[in-house]
Chain A
Amino acid sequence: MSKNIINFITTLILAYLLSLFMPWWSVMTAAFTTALFFPLKKSAVFFIPFLAILLFWFILSYIMSSGNDFTLAKRIAVLLPLGGNPYVLMLVTGIVGGLAAGIASVFGKQLSLVLKK
């Protein structure tokens, strides 16, 4: 398995586990921790956890709102404003989580470099 896939899966699992008892920034903790143990190279440092969390939050929010006919998602997508499209709101949700995770991962990677020596 490539390091990218290992990092991707570990970020996902850790993000899920930490979310059980931590607030939203558990995704940052997950990506940071994963980066410490499975450091990636170049832009993958940012993009792998970014994609992992984007996917994770997108799917989670889809599951939550599809059971309720996207009633609130449609409204929040007017509030923010995203043209009332619930899928755009899911994407934005994913990007927000992904961004936080990606940046935390970069920090994790830098720390791992410092600690190695």
Chain B
Amino acid sequence: MKYFKLILSLVLTIGIFFALNTKFGSIPPIGKFLNPYSGVWQNETDESISGDISLPELIDKVTVHYDAQLIPHVFAQNETDLYRAQGYLTAKHRLWQMEFQTYAAAGRLSEIIGEGALNYDRQERRRGMMYGAEQALLKMEEDEQTTTYIKAYSEGVNSYINQLKEENLPVEYKLLDYKPEEWTPKKTALLLMYMTKMLAGGDEDIENTNALRLFGKERFDLLFPDFFDITDPIIPKETDWSFIDVPQTPNPNSEPILDSIAETIDKPDPNYGSNNWAVSPQKSSTGNAILANDPHLGLNLPSIWFVMQLSTPNHNAFGATLPGALAVISGFNQHIAWGETNATRDVIDWYKIEFNEDGTKYKFDDTWKDVTYRIEEIKIKGKETYKDSIRFTHHGPVVFDKNFKSDNEKTGYAMKWIGHIGGNNQKTFLDLNKGKNYNDYVEAISNYTAPAQNFVFASTEGDIALWIQGKLPNKWEGQGKFIMDGSKSENDWQSFIPQKFNAHTKNPERGFVSSANQHPVDEAYPYFVFNDGYETYRNRVINDFFNSKDKFGIQDFKDLHNNNYNLKASELMPYMLKTMDISNLTAEEKELYDIAKAWQYNNDMNEIGPSIWRAWYGILYNMVWDEFDVEDTAIDAPFTYQTIYLLKTKGDDAFMDIIDTPEKETAKDLFKLSFSEAVVKLNDFKAKNGSLEWVNYKATYVGHLLQALPAFSRFDVPIGGGRNIVNATSENWGPSWRMIVEMTSPPTALGIYPGGQSGNPGSKYYDNFIDDWAAGKYHSLNFLQNDTATDAIIGTQTLTPSK
């Protein structure tokens, strides 16, 4: 009996140890997680911002001053030390995020999360994320300086990881029960690929092909014109292009392949976008050029941005950095300021591949070319490694084939993507940080390949400029709108647009430059550019604003950042309200109709009009494009601008008819039908959630990177705006960094982002910027001119070389 009890109690003891030390599904190992010695209680702390830290391999001492926003102001004696310190400090505040993002980029989430992420990982491998990062790394290694700095950055991150004790691991590691691995230059390359995917990872070739097959060329061209009837491009229309002496690639008149595919890989949110602009000294009320940038990305915690001042005796840069990449990405130094918006150019094309009998060769002109194989090993937590064999053609990886989202043995679809070509895009930012004038800026961006960006520029010398920079294929007219025949060499990208012929403008007559993801140029530009999802509203509001008066100051810039005017609604809703049959409105309908009628088209927080618009237009859009609701077919409905254009000018087109009903509907009928549905939807919402005010209906949140874990996220952020509005704050994306720089000497700058400098949910610096950001406030950026601490500094840490 005694022995039985002994064995029973031993089993129980082992059992409780096992139960508390093991992760079950999403439940963390509860003993490890909660104990006060090494569990989450150890993360109940603010970061240390004083004292000395010894860092191996540092050449000289590095001083780090922290201000009240927890922005580190880094003073190093040379660039190698500077980037080593950047790596160390970024890891100190954002380690889990920077590592997690590179796992996501590489298609390695199964290692952390388990089998549930396998499909995601396969998709990212097949998209060629790992391959692209390897190509980029090769290009970066060709440059000695980049290699030195990127290595120093990696070692800086690793210095932090190596001194990290288990109890100090960021809380997410404890939650998911894993540990950080060594940082490498490849991870920096992966982070840059992640940005390339986010910003240049979208295309509609397959969807367009299906639309072309279903509706024919004439209808397709009506729905998806290369240019809308209105264009307010980034580069002013009056620009003279006569200096361009390399022609567009001649059209081989090849026929598109009218193929169908049921499902494509995930694409980045098409609503990601950004604004930037600058006014010249002549147009500035202070006589100094002023520049602004607000990239619209996912609103996440920890934020995608980490603000730093990075200086050596030879340069002094300040602004938003990307954890994982070197130098300031959107910011300024003593001489120049710069910022980016996405150029949205079509840099992905799809080729249909015809394989031979055993799938080892593919047809190309009169020959059969060998495919190369790349075996992607995907490690899975608690399971055997999954091996995916991906075939590569000279176009790129065969993403869709019999092993992935397709069942055809003999054909596949290969992806041609600028992201696979590689490029030293890190160098652009290293050089911009040191730039002194317009020429330095042009030189810095000239080798930049992807994701193509609209680089805005202003200098203390009074120049303003905007270059649309990226490595952009010189396509023949129509190339890459649809799936192409991969067996014909004429369909390959024949060349790239020479960099100096990329569209740009310097000190234009109108006294300002701006971009908001709209069409880069009008039809006068000699190279093929078509609308693959360009913005058509924010740009017009911004340009109208700058054309509205002579001089602009900082307050005007703030007002424009926070401008909630809904131009899109203002172009359709008055027409709907006027045209629709209102003779039989119910009492509920009448009530909302009157509110809609009184709305002045501002998406302010307390308005109900924006909620009505959102519900109404959403339903209307689906009614108009019910023809696009085709089973097992990847297809996208037309863009908003063209939808509104057709509703107003071709209200009796056959597309307006709802195909499931015997009646023949027109736009006017759809207005009423969708309005009635919207009223029901809105009143349901009201019954459930209390109020139809826009702030409530939109419900902006800033979500933690782990699927917006409620515990680590912020919900119901009080802010107006919305998609296609200059204040682009929608549900969970929006102005992820707002910066205004006046080009005084030295520059004076304001900046804020919806997050906080710390990645630790236990820190008061985790989300402390969100309220000010939502209220449209800015923080003064303390641009220190030397390493002497000012009143703004609350703590100083010195990094010293290890003896």
Contact = CB atoms under 8 A, between A and B. Distances in A.
Contacts of B711: 75-76, 78-79
Contacts of A110: 2, 5-6, 9-10
Interface in A48-101: 57, 60-61, 64-65, 67-73, 75-76, 78-79, 89, 92-93, 96-97, 99-100
A78 B709 CA distance: 10
A72 to B, nearest CB: 3
Contacts of B9: 103, 106-107, 109-110
B37 A71 contact: no
B762 A92 contact: no
B32 interface: yes
Contacts, number: 118
B35 A79 contact: no
Nearest to A101: B16
B709 A79 contact: yes
A65 B45 CA distance: 8
A73 B762 CA distance: 8
Which of B20, B41, B171, B760 is the most central at the interface, judged by chain A CB atoms within 10 Å of its CB? B41
Contacts of B712: 75, 79
Interface string A33-53: 000000000000000000000
Interface in B9-46: 9-10, 12-13, 16-17, 20-21, 30-32, 34-46
Contacts of A5: none
A97 B35 CA distance: 7
A96 B31 contact: yes
B29 to A, nearest CB: 9
Given A71-B44, A75-B761, A110-B5, A23 B17 contact: no
Contacts of A17: none
B32 A24 contact: yes
Contact of A103 (B13, B34, B45, B175): B13
Contact of B17 (A25, A69, A111): A25
A65 B44 contact: yes
B17 A28 contact: yes
B3 interface: yes
Interface residues of B, number: 40
Interface in B428-442: none
Contacts of A26: 37
Which of A25, A68, A72, A92 is the most central at the interface, judged by chain B CB atoms within 10 Å of its CB? A72
Dominant secondary structure of chain A at its interface with chain B: helix
A113 interface: yes
Contacts of B34: 89, 92-93, 96-97
A91 to B, nearest CB: 11
A109 B41 CA distance: 31
Given A75-B762, A100-B16, A24 B710 contact: no
Contacts of B42: 64
A68 B40 contact: no
Which of B20, B35, B43 is the most central at the interface, judged by chain A CB atoms within 10 Å of its CB? B35
Nearest to A57: B36
B782 interface: no
B231 interface: no
A4 interface: no
A69 B39 CA distance: 18
B764 interface: yes
A35 B446 CA distance: 74
A72 B40 contact: yes
B406 interface: no
A70 B45 CA distance: 10
Contacts of B171: 72
A96 B46 CA distance: 26
Contacts of A96: 20, 30-31, 34-35
B77 interface: no
B762 A100 contact: no
Contacts of A111: 6
B395 to A, nearest CB: 46
A93 B37 CA distance: 11
A1 interface: no
A70 B699 CA distance: 27
B758 to A, nearest CB: 11
B763 interface: yes
B759 to A, nearest CB: 13
Contacts of A79: 175, 709-712
A19 B709 contact: no
Contact of B31 (A25, A32, A73, A76): A25
B762 A72 contact: yes
Interface string B739-766: 0000000000000000000001111101
Contacts of A25: 17, 20-21, 31
A12 interface: no
A71 B36 contact: no
Interface string B499-539: 00000000000000000000000000000000000000000
Contacts of A68: 44-46, 762
A72 B10 contact: no
A26 B34 CA distance: 14
Contacts of A104: 13, 16
Interface in B752-803: 760-764, 766
A99 B10 CA distance: 14
A51 B43 CA distance: 25
Nearest to A116: B2
B16 A24 contact: no
Contact of A71 (B12, B32, B35, B764): B764
Which of B39, B40, B171, B761 is the most central at the interface, judged by chain A CB atoms within 10 Å of its CB? B40
Given A24-B35, A71-B762, A72-B171, A103 B44 contact: no
A64 B764 CA distance: 15
B44 A73 contact: yes
A70 B40 CA distance: 12
A107 B45 CA distance: 37
Contact of A19 (B10, B37, B43, B710): B37
Which of A19, A104, A107 is the most central at the interface, judged by chain B CB atoms within 10 Å of its CB? A107
B36 A61 contact: yes
Nearest to B3: A114
A66 to B, nearest CB: 9
Which of B5, B20, B46, B762 is the most central at the interface, judged by chain A CB atoms within 10 Å of its CB? B762
Contacts of B31: 24-25, 96-97, 100
Nearest to A111: B6
Contacts of A103: 9, 12-13, 16
A106 B2 CA distance: 12
Contacts of A106: 9, 12-13
8 contacts: A24-B20, A24-B38, A72-B40, A76-B711, A93-B35, A93-B39, A110-B10, A111-B6
Interface of B: 2-3, 5-6, 9-10, 12-13, 16-17, 20-21, 30-32, 34-46, 171, 175, 709-712, 760-764, 766
Identify the 8 closest CB pairs spanning chains A and B, nearest first. A72-B762, A24-B35, A79-B711, A60-B36, A78-B711, A107-B9, A110-B6, A68-B44
Given A75-B761, A97-B35, A110-B6, 11 more contacts: A24-B32, A28-B16, A65-B44, A69-B764, A71-B762, A78-B710, A96-B20, A104-B13, A106-B13, A107-B9, A110-B9
